[in-house]
Structure 1
Amino acid sequence: MPLFETVLVANRGEIACRVIRTLRALGIRSVAVYSDADAGARHVLEADQAVRIGPAAAALSYLNIEAIIAACKATGADAVHPGYGFLSENQAFARALEEAGLVFIGPRVHALNVMGDKIRSKNHVSGFDVPVVPGIAESGLTDEDLIEAAGQVGYPLLIKPSAGGGGKGMHAVERAEDLSESLKTARRVAASAFGDDTLFLERLIRTPRHIEVQVLADSYGNVIHLGERECSLQRRHQKVIEEAPSALLDEATRARIGEAACNAARSVDYVGAGTVEFLVSDDAPDEFFFMEMNTRLQVEHPVTEMVTGVDLVEWQVRIAAGEKLTLAQDDVVLTGHAVEARVYAEDAEAGFLPSAGTVVDLAEPQGEGIRVDSALLPGLEISPTYDPMLSKVIAWAPSRSEALDRLNSALARTRIAGLRTNVEYLRLLINDDDVRAGRLDTTMIERKLPHLAFRTASDAEIAAAAVVLAGHSTGGGAASPWHSRDGWRIGGVHAATPVQLQVGNTSPQTVFLTRDGARSVVALNDNRYEVDWLVDGEGNGTGRAVVDGVTLDARFAPNGSTLWLTDAGWSQPVRMLSREEVLQTQLASIARTDGAADPEVRSPMPGTVITVNVADGDSVAEGQVLVSVEAMKMEHQLTATVSGTVAITLSPGDLVSANQVVARIHPVPSGEAEDPAAGTVPTEQEEPQS
């Protein structure tokens, strides 16, 4: 049976690149779609043809069903691969493709309908020999209904939205008196994120492990599983590290959970690749409970491919084209161990705030047992518009410990300069003693994070960076005094030039620069460093400094004022403050007493204003939420730093840059009463991973 001639990939980033790779191997012509923000993206360059489908906003491009179908017709596509996220589980999209005579490389609408609703899916599979978590899951339950039923469910319990996923809107409740407020918050988040505020309750499983099973099913009733994946290392219900197989399960439990997953797939006549997710208590590893079925490919599918040798995207395409599975359950053999780390554009030290910027230097690892699924390119601009995942680094080895070692080495060889990433954090995580021992659960990261020791730039590195930045700011050419070797000094023999540097997330610090013959001399924290500096004569944004026998290669961001230091997965921006910034800092310090809060409220990240909770001139209390900003599918709420009168001019939809002042507060004079209407600070919410 012939496969398709042309397949359109209705997605972006690393998943689009990964699907295009298999299409090319199968000899199928690929079509990419892109928004204005992705015109120079890697998936656009790798496809055989690319079609613009709209502006940057996903709702006007990647979620625009009409635009995608029009692109199919314009390019002669036979089928559409949806990737994951976006429209991959959208029933309306699947129906629209069918009506247009296009093949959806995914399950049938019936499976999307049943499994797309957590309440419906849980009630459905319970009748097909699939164990479910005790709880109450019915449509149309009010808060009063849920509060009344909570006693039978038992505490602690978990509030879950019926629509959506990725942990958004989920709330653990330990005590009955906290349930009412938690339900209100969960409904608000669910309505905002999914357009559906239906909630249900489940018993909270202590020390839970998240284990999922990969299934494949064809149109002829054949269903197999390809083993399980351990996905317990999560932060805010978002997976960070995944591995296959799980170190927890024995062969008997592996067979039982695999059969339960197949039963779930059979219950909806599933077709294609899918994943059935289970909760397993670490205290009772032979017990497992159905959570949900993801009716699509998963971010973490490469670890299954690495241990089985099966290309899941290839089988998605073959099954959608009408082929039968040639694999039987007995043909599936798990060989060795694979571990995947998700590389995100985020600042782990600053509470995992999203990071944006331009990739000015890039190195991705290669070698035996190493696979990288990536969307990165040198010069690529990472905007705050989409999901923060940049790439995935996957390592395979004969044993789990060897796979973790290989992954650690591969992450150490990963260099991404131009924006903050979580690579250093990933290395710290996989080298934790409990992780190495396989003692995992879904709450581990929250417990471990406060104790992780992130690297900081050394004084010698800061000194070298100061010299490179100073040279770059003067032009860096042969005529530059910083390039001169005649013994020139700023301000004469005894004078030194103070330079204010912002290093990473630390407070600005002052260094003093002079020249001593061929070398620059830097005074910092009562230490003296002699630095040799060489500038790249090609003017491509690089610099090199030698201090204490260590060579520092540096790469500038496009604005020329920020220098990026990288080493073994660690990266750090160093910026020389302008005179205006130094003056503003000094004036702000004078304007308030020592230890007082800054009356200026700044956005910690670039993004889009989602809500404005106050009006210009309102009285606000310290801690009251003023503005919500969204970037890379994370919502961050900015609160009043002091009580007083707020000055604000923002509106929903406005774009803000990192460190931009979004509000100013005229503090309440000493002795006056504060506004009693202080608002509580809702917790930061994160969008599910695409």
Structure 2
Amino acid sequence: MFDTVLVANRGEIAVRVIRTLRSLGVRSVAVFSDADADARHVREADTAVRIGPAPASESYLSVERLLEAAARSGAQAVHPGYGFLAENTGFARACEEAGLVFIGPSADAIALMGDKIRAKETVKAAGVPVVPGSSGSGLTDAELASAAREIGVPVLLKPSAGGGGKGMRLVRDVTALEEEIAAARREARASFGDDTLLVERWVDRPRHIEIQVLADGHGNVVHLGERECSLQRRHQKIIEEAPSVLLDEATRAAMGEAAVQAARSCGYRGAGTVEFIVPGGDPSSYYFMEMNTRLQVEHPVTELITGLDLVEWQLRVAAGEPLGFGQQDVTLTGHAVEARICAEDPARGFLPSGGTVLLLDEPQGDGVRTDSGLSEGTEVGSLYDPMLSKVIAYGPDRATALRRLRSALAGTVTLGVQTNAGFLRRLLAHPAVVAGELDTGLVERVVDELVPAEVPEEVYEAAAAVRQEALKPRGEGWTDPFSVPSGWRLGGTPKAAAFDLRVTEPVRYTPRGAYSVAGDRVSVTLDGVRHSFRRASDWLGRDGDSWQVRDHDPVAASLTGAAHAGADSLTAPMPGTVTVVKVAVGDEVTAGQSLLVVEAMKMEHVISAPHAGTVAELDVTPGSTVAMDQVLAVIAPREAE
């Protein structure tokens, strides 16, 4: 076993790898950019090395700086985690050339399976069924469009490099092919440095099922059962579970054997995942999609039902040890479900969010595990992936695991940064999810049912209670009666205080119930029902949901908002970076025309013209960093002209 291992990643996966290194008595080396100087993974490692400024291209994606950090720290091996350079052939090969052990498959295996086009051809030759689609690499836009028309819409555009849903585009309208291909190439280039695309037939209402494989350097390959990953948004997994309720033992064995053959076809070594798309109505008709040559985000659910530490086995295999068990020794016990906590705002269409973690409470124990990179004071910015943590629940059966996970999400508190925890809790209670009737389009079909249309009244009641409590006099001695929020007035009828508040829209609110404010806990009673919240600064949270309730000054708002009021101004929907500007001041635009692209946390958002008119103001250029709600441009309507 190694003495020292460098973890070439950040956030929750770096913390998770460090945990196993500590349990094995292996010295851990963290790396960090300037944005992560005080991050949790840096504090938990035995030592840490700065590798550059905040942009990932100058730090976490710099092969040269990572190798230099390994040399300075005396590391013998490098664990790449997932994301960043985890599936980068050049990085794996550079580690080998520098005399470092890359904890993962060989560079050749990464190159083969990282190219989705070559991967499909390779596994097909090994007898593994594949999704019908385009053939050949380096297709032009015209060739991709032609292949899509030949296959017939709907089709899925996919980057040949990378994974995680980045750059994937579902196209149902042939006339949209040109724009969607361009957007997919931009995202692929930004995420993976490679804009090569392929096109595949889209299977309506498919299930996404993947098989975990483990291979050593002595010819042994086993599979560790499947994970159901069908609950997705924008092709990104948000809930995963193991095992899948869809598969019977015969199908599980057949898919497992297909995954083993796929791994053997590329001489695989270490932990990897073979992903299949499965028609929900016919589980026996499964198709290979791709192989992820790394640890998966959702690996904890497999760990919980097998009792194996996958990071430990990655380390042991990389150190040259053979697997200590065979396929007949792998047993699946109980059920596990994982929820990905991401910095995004469900009320704003799941746009990326950011901020400082002011109050943090993450559940552990009693069948619940949280893998997290957070701590109070953590700054969540727009430069890196939006996933903050994962909450995983285990039980003897699926119903127990789901119940425990819903409870754990209700107890998850991340105030200061908007997250999807409350949304995930409601999703896990949806009748289709409880029944196991899943497919990759389910979340999009039911999303509106799971996002509250309005801010609950008790949120304003709690916010007003906090403000009313703050107005109470402190200390001893005479109290000015006009300073007490009792509604008392000289020669008049008492009148309750009213507070101008704002979550999304301004509200004037008068408290109407009893309340209690003690430390970071607030309780209010409305119509005989008690509601309890956690609070930090102007944030309130309960059951996984959170609200930032600001004070609203109607006079100031009317003065400062006059310059850019109404539907003419285009504002940033999220903090991020402007990557594309398609217009200039004076240009004529049509309603719905794409004008700008803002990127944050590896996600693109297109800013379109609200109406036909002329670009009257343009306040940004490509590369501009923008805050949420910052004015980007103003479109003067034609009627005004």
Return the TM-score normalized by structure 1: 0.86
Alignment match, 1:52: 50
More divergent stretch after superposition (187-196 vs 429-438): 187-196
1:288 aligned residue (286, 289, 295): 286
Q: Please state how far the C-alpha of 1:579 moved relative to its aligned partner.
A: 5.8
Q: For the residues of structure 2 that align with 1:482 and 1:172, how far apart are their CA atoms?
A: 64
Q: Please state how far the C-alpha of 1:68 moved relative to its aligned partner.
A: 1.0
Whether contact under 8 Å (2:241, 2:301) holds in the other structure is yes
Q: Please state how far the C-alpha of 1:353 moved relative to its aligned partner.
A: 0.8
Alignment match, 1:605: 574
Whether contact under 8 Å (1:607, 1:656) holds in the other structure is yes
Residue type of the alignment partner of 2:502: Q
Alignment match, 1:626: 595
Whether contact under 8 Å (1:281, 1:287) holds in the other structure is yes
Q: For the residues of structure 1 that align with 2:400 and 2:482, how far apart are their CA atoms?
A: 48
Is 1:637 the counterpart of 2:612? The answer is: no
Whether contact under 8 Å (1:478, 1:484) holds in the other structure is no
Whether contact under 8 Å (2:334, 2:398) holds in the other structure is yes
Q: For the residues of structure 2 that align with 1:547 and 1:432, how far apart are their CA atoms?
A: 28
Alignment match, 2:638: 668
Alignment match, 2:385: 387
Q: Please state how far the C-alpha of 1:586 moved relative to its aligned partner.
A: 7.0
Alignment match, 1:584: 559
Q: For the residues of structure 2 that align with 1:254 and 1:351, how far apart are their CA atoms?
A: 36
Q: For the residues of structure 2 that align with 1:458 and 1:12, how far apart are their CA atoms?
A: 36
Is 1:406 the counterpart of 2:404? The answer is: yes
2:194 aligned residue (193, 196, 205): 196
Residue by residue, what CA displacement relative to the aligned partner does 1:489-531 show, whole Å, maximum 9, x if unpaired? 589855776532112x3x111235xxxxxxxxx3xxxxxx155
2:547 aligned residue (549, 554, 572): 572
Q: For the residues of structure 1 that align with 2:212 and 2:178, how far apart are their CA atoms?
A: 37
Q: Please state how far the C-alpha of 1:471 moved relative to its aligned partner.
A: 5.8
Whether contact under 8 Å (2:485, 2:497) holds in the other structure is no
Alignment match, 1:205: 203
Q: Please state how far the C-alpha of 1:625 moved relative to its aligned partner.
A: 2.9
Cα distance, 1:553–1:578 mapped onto 2, change above 3 Å: same
Cα distance, 1:115–1:492 mapped onto 2, change above 3 Å: farther
Q: For the residues of structure 2 that align with 1:367 and 1:78, how far apart are their CA atoms?
A: 34
Whether contact under 8 Å (2:593, 2:608) holds in the other structure is yes
Residue type of the alignment partner of 1:640: A
Q: For the residues of structure 2 that align with 1:664 and 1:183, how far apart are their CA atoms?
A: 28
Q: Please state how far the C-alpha of 1:99 moved relative to its aligned partner.
A: 1.5
Q: Please state how far the C-alpha of 1:266 moved relative to its aligned partner.
A: 0.6
Whether contact under 8 Å (1:490, 1:496) holds in the other structure is no
Q: For the residues of structure 2 that align with 1:532 and 1:448, how far apart are their CA atoms?
A: 35
Q: Please state how far the C-alpha of 1:580 moved relative to its aligned partner.
A: 6.0
Q: Please state how far the C-alpha of 1:22 moved relative to its aligned partner.
A: 0.3
Q: Is the partner of 2:550 in helix, strand or coil? A: strand
Alignment match, 2:502: 502
Residue type of the alignment partner of 1:83: G
Whether contact under 8 Å (2:578, 2:598) holds in the other structure is yes
1:225-304 matches, cutoff 5 A = 225-304=223-302
Is 1:651 the counterpart of 2:611? The answer is: no
Q: For the residues of structure 1 that align with 2:439 and 2:490, how far apart are their CA atoms?
A: 60
Residue type of the alignment partner of 2:544: G
Alignment match, 1:539: none
Q: Is the partner of 1:266 in helix, strand or coil? A: helix
Q: Please state how far the C-alpha of 1:570 moved relative to its aligned partner.
A: 1.9
Q: Please state how far the C-alpha of 1:401 moved relative to its aligned partner.
A: 1.2
Alignment match, 1:685: none
Whether contact under 8 Å (1:207, 1:283) holds in the other structure is no
Cα distance, 1:470–1:608 mapped onto 2, change above 3 Å: farther
Alignment match, 1:309: 307
Whether contact under 8 Å (2:461, 2:524) holds in the other structure is no
Q: For the residues of structure 1 that align with 2:140 and 2:342, how far apart are their CA atoms?
A: 38
Alignment match, 1:556: 536
Q: Is the partner of 2:584 in helix, strand or coil? A: coil
Residue type of the alignment partner of 1:619: E
Whether contact under 8 Å (1:500, 1:582) holds in the other structure is no
Whether contact under 8 Å (1:357, 1:381) holds in the other structure is yes
Alignment match, 1:687: none
Cα distance, 1:493–1:360 mapped onto 2, change above 3 Å: farther
Q: Is the partner of 1:167 in helix, strand or coil? A: coil
1:131 aligned residue (129, 132, 136): 129
Q: For the residues of structure 1 that align with 2:242 and 2:548, how far apart are their CA atoms?
A: 35
Cα distance, 1:375–1:340 mapped onto 2, change above 3 Å: same
Residue type of the alignment partner of 1:367: G
Residue type of the alignment partner of 1:628: V
Whether contact under 8 Å (1:218, 1:323) holds in the other structure is yes
Whether contact under 8 Å (1:337, 1:396) holds in the other structure is yes
Whether contact under 8 Å (2:468, 2:485) holds in the other structure is no
Aligned residues: 635
Q: For the residues of structure 2 that align with 1:648 and 1:475, how far apart are their CA atoms?
A: 47
Whether contact under 8 Å (2:458, 2:531) holds in the other structure is no
More divergent stretch after superposition (161-170 vs 174-183): 174-183
Q: Give the fraction of aligned pairs with identical amino acids, expressed as a percent.
A: 54
More divergent stretch after superposition (262-271 vs 599-608): 599-608
Q: Please state how far the C-alpha of 1:320 moved relative to its aligned partner.
A: 0.5
Cα distance, 1:461–1:330 mapped onto 2, change above 3 Å: same
Q: For the residues of structure 1 that align with 2:490 and 2:40, how far apart are their CA atoms?
A: 49
Residue by residue, what CA displacement relative to the aligned partner does 1:594-650 show, whole Å, maximum 9, x if unpaired? xxx422221122112222222234333333333322222212222333423321232
Q: Please state how far the C-alpha of 1:587 moved relative to its aligned partner.
A: 4.0
Alignment match, 2:164: 166
More divergent stretch after superposition (37-46 vs 23-32): 37-46
Q: For the residues of structure 2 that align with 1:646 and 1:211, how far apart are their CA atoms?
A: 50
Q: Please state how far the C-alpha of 1:19 moved relative to its aligned partner.
A: 0.2
Q: For the residues of structure 2 that align with 1:481 and 1:61, how far apart are their CA atoms?
A: 58
Q: For the residues of structure 1 that align with 2:568 and 2:149, how far apart are their CA atoms?
A: 45
Q: For the residues of structure 2 that align with 1:619 and 1:150, how far apart are their CA atoms?
A: 33
Q: Is the partner of 2:567 in helix, strand or coil? A: coil
Residue type of the alignment partner of 1:650: V
Q: For the residues of structure 1 that align with 2:637 and 2:401, how far apart are their CA atoms?
A: 55
Return the TM-score normalized by structure 2: 0.93
Cα distance, 1:554–1:170 mapped onto 2, change above 3 Å: closer
Cα distance, 1:332–1:498 mapped onto 2, change above 3 Å: same
Q: For the residues of structure 2 that align with 1:615 and 1:155, how far apart are their CA atoms?
A: 35
1:439 aligned residue (421, 427, 437): 437
Alignment match, 1:322: 320
Q: For the residues of structure 2 that align with 1:292 and 1:268, how far apart are their CA atoms?
A: 13
Q: Is the partner of 2:267 in helix, strand or coil? A: coil
More divergent stretch after superposition (234-243 vs 628-637): 628-637
Cα distance, 1:50–1:144 mapped onto 2, change above 3 Å: closer
Residue type of the alignment partner of 1:409: S
Q: For the residues of structure 1 that align with 2:407 and 2:462, how far apart are their CA atoms?
A: 27
More divergent stretch after superposition (244-253 vs 173-182): 173-182
Q: For the residues of structure 1 that align with 2:311 and 2:452, how far apart are their CA atoms?
A: 37
Residue type of the alignment partner of 1:621: T
Cα distance, 1:622–1:121 mapped onto 2, change above 3 Å: same
Q: For the residues of structure 2 that align with 1:255 and 1:84, how far apart are their CA atoms?
A: 27
Cα distance, 1:455–1:43 mapped onto 2, change above 3 Å: farther
Q: For the residues of structure 1 that align with 2:324 and 2:304, how far apart are their CA atoms?
A: 19
Q: For the residues of structure 2 that align with 1:180 and 1:190, how far apart are their CA atoms?
A: 15
